[in-house]
Structure 1
Amino acid sequence: MNHIDLTDKRILVTGGIGFIGANLIIELLKTVHPVHILTIDSRTDYYDVRIKDYRLEEIEKEAEKHPESSFEFVLGDISDTDLIKRIFREFKPQIVVNLAAQAGVRYSIENPDSYIKSNIIGFYNILEACRHSYDDDQAGVEHLVYASSSSVYGSNKKVPYSTDDMVDNPVSLYAATKKSDELMAHAYSKLYNIPSTGLRFFTVYGPAGRPDMAYFGFTDKLVKGEKIQIFNFGNCMRDFTYIDDIVKGTKLVMQGAPEKKNGDDGLPIPPFAVYNIGNNHPENLLEFVDILQQELIHSGVLPENYDFESHKELVPMQPGDVPVTFADSTPLERDFGFTPNTCLQDGLRIFAEWYRSFYYPQKPN
């Protein structure tokens, strides 16, 4: 593994006002001095853009504290080939973290075009730009890190999910695009010796997260007095991973690029790796919802006498969903000495407190 010191590096983070991207940028600004970050994000209305604007404001507040560093936001889409070429030509990133993607399993059934545009064409543009960053004997990109997903495991019955498992049976278009990203990255690593690492994220949650995720959607419905639907009659297991753990893991991986070396045939062995980032402790969805409602009451989002039982409904599995996600994070611990470990109650408490302050800023604690 090739160690990379992030100090004074030019880092391109795509999807930088998304959930993971924004938190990663804030962490880099806080801990790496100096650092130079450019992010591109299309600010789509897939979910409430006020949350994206909030994240951007938080990044800019942190950037103001570190005048030795730099931060630039570009409003644009990674599927815009000319824009990506211009960013690479002018900014010359040394580290690229591709987090821009159309996310969500169920939405891929309703709006498949956006997944092909962002997850396939957009990622292809990033790979091509990384390839040409070496033109004319330039130093080029030292490490490409990109978001994959636990969804690639599909309905794999072997648990915990290992990166050694075959993942050739996706059950959603979203999962198929993420597996495609891994395959394209492998091909580019082999052909052009680009060090690349894919990260399979497992059900990321936390403050200012994505409103399409279950914990956020449940909260919205409970606040409105609506019923929440718990799929697979409550028999789903999810490996919930707190956002701070995702950021710590991603930052560590950025600093450890797969080593460039040649095989016996004199050709490059692909400098390519894939890791799971998950909590390695799946939670039953019913237990998860019980903890969530406790924390919503504790934070004052819901009243103490809230009749939770009358607001939940057990329903069958949704198309594209899987009954269990469970990460084998042994390789991440082996190579980087890190395993996500934030307990669910702590993470949901922080989310609930953020939710109250964001949506009900005048509400007393």
Structure 2
Amino acid sequence: MEQATNWADRAMARMAAESLPPTPQHFAIWYSYYSGDLPDLNRALDKLAEAGHGVTAERLAELHDRFFSLDHEKQAVREAGARIQGALSHLLELLRASGAGSDRYGRALQQFGEDMEVRGLEQLSALVDAIAAETRLMAEHNRELHSQLQSSSSQMDELRRNLDVVRQEAITDSLTGLFNRRLFDASLAEAVARAAQTGRPLSLLMTDIDHFKQFNDAHGHTIGDHVLALVARTVKESIRATDTAVRYGGEEFAVILPDSRMADAARLGEQIRKSVASKKLVNRSRNVTLGTITLSVGVAQLARDETPADLIKRADAALYDAKQSGRNRVVAIGSRDRDTGQGG
């Protein structure tokens, strides 16, 4: 409670210092900034300061839309729903104008329209597929409407492709190209359920860039972004097609490793650690060597009757041990003990 009050006080003070009106939107941004709940928001605000741009109400409105308003997927679902409704109305008008005796098709379209309540991407994609299939079938049976129905079918195909793009964006971290935390939660739950059912091993690897805040402060967020992308690329190149790599948050990454025992996961973590440590960072625009970066890695293997949250907690504990014992190392924790430590 005391900490929350402190963050609130700092947020109010910051609004006054920046001569910003104390709106709920401005308060939400600065409260989150001081609490550190949204690392990417902090980075965006710090970049504005670095570039010498003022923290204006207009820029804060853009940040609020980006981090606090309806997310990209919800907006896309809403827009796609409106387009589908429009397409359905147009198709029904075509049927009525042509006098086509297509009762089945008309009933199908009306049913689709009645089902147009709030939907997610998966349900919308299935709906678009169903409408497109019905439309193609109708086109085959009614030549008079063929060209117009083909046009509507093409629109549905385009909408489906757009929804596929939105779905991919909704589960991808834009900076690194890895999957994001949202997909991680769903994938880990699925992997844990599958491991429990099959008895196959499952391991989780958590990694964090050592002293990343100091590196950012010294070299700037643009260079920091390049470092995040470099680590993400190294992780992605090191794993199998069946593994799932995500940007867990800030400078932390996670890898879900199905069919991998802890020793195998620890070896992978060591491979990633060495690969990152071997890379020399250079600011090519200034021809300045920035040195190297290192990773701390925590590993845990799923234990019997363990939940996804339990597995994350133990992998996080291993990562904490790696940092506490000197960083730039891999630590693996068993279900009841702390097993191994590696590194340089």
TM-score interval, smaller chain: under 0.3
TM-score between the two structures when normalised by the length of structure 2: 0.23
User: When you count helix as a share of all residues, which structure comes out higher?
Assistant: 2
Structure showing greater Rg: 2
Which structure's relative contact order is higher, taking Cα pairs within 8 Å and 6+ residues apart?
Answer: 1
